[in-house]
């Protein structure tokens, strides 16, 4: 157990190094927030970072990304928007009715008495609440099916589904709108707010259509191909965002600092997954302190409390808060800066399909179809080097990145291991690898050829009969015709 001094808390961070770490980190213990020595600590400018570098350094605001992910994966946000909008609309239409005097006999408005108006609004609100309960039950069943049949990680795709969120919102809005109008019925100045009650009729009709659409949508969304396509589509978007085809990287090949770091900044709060880093702001911090910041974990790695997050190479300490504010930590991986997570989800679904309890190799082949497409898109692209510099051309930030070899091994190793016994899996995998060899640059051919060799050896070990072995060696884009 490290001594108490090793993990003493400071205002901006945690002491790491010394007895708590080994190697480069343990060689030079440092306050994560910088030890100012005798006298008062130096004042730090906490104003927003200036000096953006849009032509060279990406701008990933990790705090905004966390907020966006929280809102997108929450079933509550859009329904709440609908709820507040419906209440505002109810108040507005009642005000219009009051200004017009109410009880307008026009065919556009409700033309019955107070009792009828109350009964209609009560029926609308009650039935819509029942709708909402049914929708919630359907959604929970869909989530359970997706989790057990495919992978728990694809639940994020369901939670982000805007159609389901809007349907929830329609039902909630109809119920709240009707209740808001109901409380105005019989009040002085507008005995029967006819225009507002007609609005309730419009909403209930919309709710019926939304309910029918939702049943259809959920039935379609739990199909294997729909889930696979949703994950693949999000992965393709991540590729375009993080690995643009025409990207120019002036710092590619720049070596990371080899000397021991002056300071090691550790995670000073609860553990989590590294979701991403805000590159341009970290470059600005490094330039301000004339140092090089080296991020330790790769995006997608789990970071325990107190573990090294950033190494500082330079002559001065950097306040930990200035660095950790631009490092995103969350409960689970996302595709924001983690393209590999999309491939991981597809591999997980393929493995689930190949398990003895499911035994569905065709679904695994469908996952291989999308993995093939994703790797084919990545093959000719210049992958991000993770080296970023300032406007003077000096290296300021090093972020570890997944390599082409990492993507290929992630896409094929586990599926080959679990699916080699189903003849269509090695056939489809061979077709993907053969095609990748036609588009991959010469420097990236080695890992693809290695995968073909591993596939040949696995087929030789698995298929004893010569004719079966020969069929398993065939390249087939459909797996087996």
- Separation between Cα atoms, residue 260 and residue 464, nearest integer Å: 54
DSSP assignments along 232-243, one per residue = HHHHHHHHHHHS
Q: What are phi and psi of 25, to 5 degrees?
A: -70, -40
Half-sphere exposure at residue 209, Cβ-oriented, CA atoms within 13 angstroms: 7
The sign of the CA dihedral 210, 216, 220, 221 is positive
Residue with tokens 């060799």: 453
CB 303 within 8 Å of CB 309: yes
CA 252-253-254 angle, 5° bins: 95
Q: Are 291 and 232 in contact (CB under 8 A)?
A: no
Tens-digit pLDDT string for the chain (481 aa): 433 333 333 333 333 333 333 333 333 333 333 333 434 333 333 333 333 333 356 668 888 888 888 888 888 899 999 999 999 999 999 998 888 765 454 545 565 678 888 999 999 999 898 878 888 887 888 778 777 878 887 887 778 888 989 999 999 999 999 999 999 888 887 788 888 888 999 999 999 999 999 889 988 888 889 999 999 999 999 999 898 877 667 777 778 888 899 999 999 888 999 999 999 999 999 999 999 999 999 999 999 999 999 999 999 899 999 999 999 999 999 999 999 999 999 999 999 999 998 899 999 999 999 999 999 999 999 898 889 988 888 999 999 999 999 999 999 999 999 999 999 999 999 999 999 999 999 999 999 999 999 999 999 999 999 999 999 999 999 987 7
Strands 291-295 and 15-16: unpaired
- The structure's pTM equals 0.80
Classify 112 as helix, strand or coil.
coil
Cβ atoms of residues 273 and 333 within 8 Å: yes
**Gap between the Cα atoms of 394 and 258, Å rounded:** 16
Residue 176 has which token pair?
A: 């709240």
Select from 229, 249, 215 the least CA-distant residue to 137. 215
pLDDT recorded at residue 111? 59
SS3 state of residue 31:
strand
Q: What is the pLDDT of residue 384?
A: 86
- Cα(16)–Cα(14) distance, rounded to whole angstroms? 6
pLDDT at residue 112, rounded to an integer: 67
Is the alpha carbon torsion for 71, 74, 80, 81 positive or negative?
positive
The per-residue pLDDT for 391 is: 86
Tokens of 316: 């001065």
Q: What is the pLDDT of residue 159?
A: 81
Distance CA 110, CA 112 (A): 6
Please report the pLDDT score of residue 52 as a whole number. Answer: 39
Question: Are 318 and 284 a contacting pair, CB within 8 Å?
Answer: no
Give the E-state strand segments of 249-401 in sequence order.
Answer: 263-266, 272-277, 291-295, 302-303, 308-314, 327-330, 387-389, 395-398
Q: Please tell me the predicted confidence (pLDDT) of residue 267.
A: 94
- CB count within 10 Å of CB 189 equals 12
What was the pLDDT predicted at 248?
A: 67
Query: What DSSP string describes 386-438?
Result: -EEE-TTS-EEEE-----HHHHHHHHHHHHHHHHTTSTHHHHHHHHHHHHHHH
CA distance 18 to 156: 40
H-run or E-run covering 170: helix 162-182
Closest CA to 60 of 306, 404, 408, 397: 397
The total number of residues shown for the chain amounts to 481
289 within 8 A of 26, measured Cβ to Cβ: no
Alpha-carbon dihedral angle through residues 319, 325, 331, 334, given to the nearest 10 degrees? -130
Strands 387-389 and 395-398: antiparallel
Determine contact, residues 374/232, Cβ cutoff 8 Å.
yes
Of 378, 398, 346, 335, which is closest to residue 243 (Cα–Cα)? 378
């Amino acid at each position: 157990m490290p001594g108490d001094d090793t993990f003493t808390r400071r205002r901006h961070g945690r002491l790491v190094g010394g007895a708590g770490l080994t190697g480069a980190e343990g060689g030079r213990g440092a306050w994560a927030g910088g030890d100012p020595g005798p006298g008062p600590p130096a004042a730090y400018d906490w104003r927003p970072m200036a000096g953006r570098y849009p032509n060279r350094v990406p701008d990933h605001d990790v705090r905004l990304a966390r907020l966006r992910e929280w809102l997108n994966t929450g079933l509550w946000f859009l329904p709440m928007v609908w709820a507040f909008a419906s209440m505002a609309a109810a108040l507005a239409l009642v005000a219009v009715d009051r200004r017009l005097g109410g009880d307008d006999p026009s065919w556009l408005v409700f033309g019955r008495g107070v009792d009828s108006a109350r009964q209609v609004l009560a029926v609308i609100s009650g039935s819509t609440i029942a709708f909402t309960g049914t929708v919630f039950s359907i959604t929970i069943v869909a989530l359970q099916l997706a989790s057990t049949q495919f992978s728990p990680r694809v639940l994020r795709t369901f939670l982000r589904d805007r159609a389901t969120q809007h349907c929830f919102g329609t039902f909630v809005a109809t119920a709240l709108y009707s209740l808001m109008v109901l409380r105005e019925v019989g009040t002085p100045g507008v005995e029967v707010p006819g225009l507002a009650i007609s609005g309730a009729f419009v909403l209930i009709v919309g709710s019926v259509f939304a309910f029918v659409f939702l049943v259809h949508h959920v039935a379609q969304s739990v199909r294997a191909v729909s889930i696979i396509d949703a994950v693949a589509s999000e992965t393709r978007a991540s590729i375009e965002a993080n690995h643009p085809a025409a990207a120019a990287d002036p710092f590619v090949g720049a070596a990371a600092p080899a000397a021991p770091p002056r300071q090691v900044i550790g995670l000073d709060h609860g553990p989590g997954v590294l979701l991403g880093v805000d590159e341009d702001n970290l470059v600005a911090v490094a330039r301000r302190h004339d140092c090089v910041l080296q991020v330790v974990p790769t995006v997608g790695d789990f970071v325990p409390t107190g573990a090294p997050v950033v190494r500082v190479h330079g002559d001065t300490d950097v306040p930990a808060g200035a660095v950790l504010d631009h490092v995103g930590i969350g409960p689970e991986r996302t595709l924001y800066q983690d393209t590999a997570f999309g491939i991981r989800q597809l591999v997980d679904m393929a493995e689930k399909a190949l398990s003895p309890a499911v035994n569905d190799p065709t679904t695994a082949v469908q996952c291989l179809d999308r993995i093939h497409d994703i790797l084919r898109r990545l093959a000719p692209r210049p992958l991000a080097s993770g080296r970023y510099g300032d406007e003077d051309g000096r290296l300021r930030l090093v972020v570890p990145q997944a390599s082409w070899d990492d993507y290929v091994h992630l896409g094929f190793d586990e599926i080959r291991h679990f699916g080699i016994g189903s003849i269509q899996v090695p056939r489809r995998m061979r077709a993907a690898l053969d095609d990748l060899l036609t588009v991959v640059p010469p420097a990236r051919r080695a890992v693809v050829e290695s995968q073909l060799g591993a596939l040949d050896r696995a087929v030789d070990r698995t298929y004893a009969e010569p004719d079966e072995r020969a069929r398993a060696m065939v390249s087939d884009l459909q797996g087996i015709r």
